[in-house]
Each structure stands twice: as structure tokens, then as C-alpha cells.
Amino acid sequence: MSNASLSAARDGNAPLGNARWQTPEALRRISRRNAAERRFKLIGLGAIVLSLAFLALLLVIMLKNGLGGLDWSFLSGSDSTDPDIAGVWGAAKGSLLTMAVTLLLSFPMGVLAAIYLEEFAPRSRWIEWVEVSINNLAAVPSIIFGLLGLAVFINTLGMPRSSPLVGGLTLALMTMPVIVISGRNAIKAVPPSIRDAALAIGASKMQTVFHHVLPLALPGILTGTIIGMARALGETAPLLMIGMRAFVVTPPGGITDPSSVLPMQIFLWSDEIDTGFVQNTSAAIIVLLVFLLAMNGLAIYLRNKFEVRW
């Protein structure tokens, strides 16, 4: 717009300069906008406070109920019908073994699938179909994965019921799509100019991906992996289906021994009538939360460690 049309658009009698913003209407408009901004900030803050308050409430109740039960015999014992003898170690060890199986399977599979889909797969109808399937897989309710694990791993392949092996395999199926999706996003976020740079000095596609793209995508992939693993750690429903709700009084010696996991132990104890188990339930929740916090802490540490700045 030219200067002439600008002044033509302005009312002939309207004040110029800063005075134009000091008229009663202008001041009202500005104060209305400021008020809207203040209201929005307040509502946003309220939303945060509300959700944090529930978290605080949970923590306070758990600590109040459970802290008294957290002693060495609780941390080192296994399940029992007597709440004073019952401990969490059996379930914790079951969780550790299950997570190990899950990680060993879902991480390499998920990362390789993500690399293939993002860097090597030709654009075709078939690949689009694979992508849609993986996204859908991430949204399948976990109980369905439990049924799948029961049908395939236990009934068809004859693997031992209630074992961390089957639990880990089942949770790996659930975690893999999460890793594929976060891995693809991390790979996509690596600037194409880095690929060009490597290709232009005669690096092969493989070298470009493994020497340059993957190291830069690693922090994002690790973060996604740990978020997926944390979800798997808290998962109960699919493990119900494969029999990990068994009453196990000795910690599993290996991945094929019958075992429980932490969230399952919480579920089992919360069902008990004996009041002694209320304290055990709360104490086990504290142990599970510490586990989860440790994993999130690890995620942040790894992301910062591998992050490359430029």
C-alpha cells in the first residue's frame, strides 16, 4: 500500500502518532486484549496445578501408607500369603527379566524397521500399507496383544506359561511399533543436507545411514525407546492373559521360570482382604514409581549424552 492510500484510509480527523492509541476506544480495546491474555495464563496455570495436585495426592497417600512397609525384608522377599513375610523382589526380578527380553527384541527390530522404512523402502502401495499397519499396531489395546501372546507363544509354540520369556515377547510386540514410529520421526528430523554431504564424497547408502544419519537420530530413538519401555513396564493386562498372575513364592531363576511382575503384584495384593496387604500394595507402588523415574532419568541422560549440537 502506498503512503497516499494509507493516509486516505485514515479518518481525516483521527489523531496521529501515539495520540491515536490514547483515545478511549483504543484504550478499552487494549485493556480488553490484556485481560484476555491474563485470563488465558490463569486457565493454563490452573490446568497444570490441577494435574500436578493429583500426582502430589497420589505420592502423599502412597508414601503415607507404604513407607512403613519399605524395609529390607520387603525389598528382598517374594510373594506370600502372610503380608508380613510378603516381599516385592520376586516381582521386581520378574519385571527386570521381562524388560530385558522386551528391550533385546523390540529395540533392534524397531530401529531396523524404522531405518528401512525411512531410508531404503521404495515408495509403493505396499510400503504405505505397511506404514498404516504399524501405526494401527501402536493403537491396538494391550489385552489383545495378551491374547495373541497366549495363542502364539504358549499354545502354538509351547513356551512356558507365566514366564518372563513369554511376557517379554508379548510386550516386545507392543513396544516395537512405538519404537518404529519415534525412530522414523528421529530419522526424518536429520537434515537431508547431511545425507547429500556423505553421498557426494562417495559414501554408499549404508555408510551414509550408519555413519551419519543414525548417530544423529540416536537421541530421539533412545527417548522413544525408553518411553515405550516405561509403558511396557507398567503394563498388566496382556500379562494377565499369559498367566503372569500366578502366585509365585520364589524369585525366577531365569527367563523360563514362572514369575510375576511389579504392576501384577500390585494388582494381586490390592485384591487381598488382609489389611496388611494395603501397606504392601502402597510400598510396591513406590517401588514401581522409583523404577519408572529411574528409566525416565536414564532417557534424559542418554538424550543429553548423545545429542550433537550444530
Partner 1 sequence: MTNSKLTARNVDVFYGQKKAINNVSIEIDNGIVTAFIGPSGCGKSTFLRSLNRMNDTIADARVTGEILLDGEDIYAAAMDPVALRARVGMVFQKPNPFPKSIYENIAYGPRIHGLAPAKADLDGIIESSLTKAGLWDEVKDRLNEPGTALSGGQQQRLCIARAIAVSPEVILMDEPCSALDPIATARIEELIDELKESFAIVIVTHSMQQAARVSQRTAFFHLGNLVEYGDTSQIFTTPREEKTKDYITGRYG
Rule CB under 8 A: which residues touch partner 1?
A: 122-123, 191, 193-204, 207, 211-212, 216, 308-310
Residue 166 or 209: which CB sits closer to partner 1?
A: 209
Smallest distance, Å, CB 309 to partner 1?
A: 7
Least Å distance, CB 128 to partner 1, is: 13
Comparing CA positions, the residue from 54, 70, 31 lying closest to residue 282 is 70
Least Cβ distance, residue 191 to partner 1 (angstroms): 8
Name the strand (E) or helix (H) holding 180. helix 164-188
Residue type, 85: I
> Minimum CB separation from partner 1 for residue 124, in Å?
10
CB burial of 116-140 (b: ≥16 within 10 Å; e: otherwise) equals: ebbbeeeeeeeeeeeeeebeebbee
Query: How would DSSP label each residue in 140-178?
Result: S-HHHHHHHHIIIIIIIT-PPTT-HHHHHHHHHHHHHHH
Nearer of residues 29 and 188 to partner 1, judged by Cβ: 188
Please, which residue, 193 or 304, has the CB nearer to partner 1?
A: 193
Cβ(175)–Cβ(228) below 8 Å? yes
Question: Measured from the CB atom, is 12 or 122 closer to partner 1?
Answer: 122
Q: Which is nearer to partner 1, 216 or 248 (CB)?
A: 216
Q: Which three cell numbers stand for residue 230?
A: 516405561
Nearest distance from C-beta of residue 167 to partner 1, angstroms: 40
Closer of 133 and 204 to partner 1 (Cβ)? 204
Q: Quote the distance between the C-alpha of residue 202 and its chain's center.
A: 38
For CA atoms 225, 226, 230, 231, the dihedral sign is negative
Instruction: Give me the least distance between CB of 177 and partner 1, in Å please.
Output: 25
Contact 260, 78 (CB under 8 A): no
Give phi and psi for 85, each to the nearest 5. Answer: -95, -30
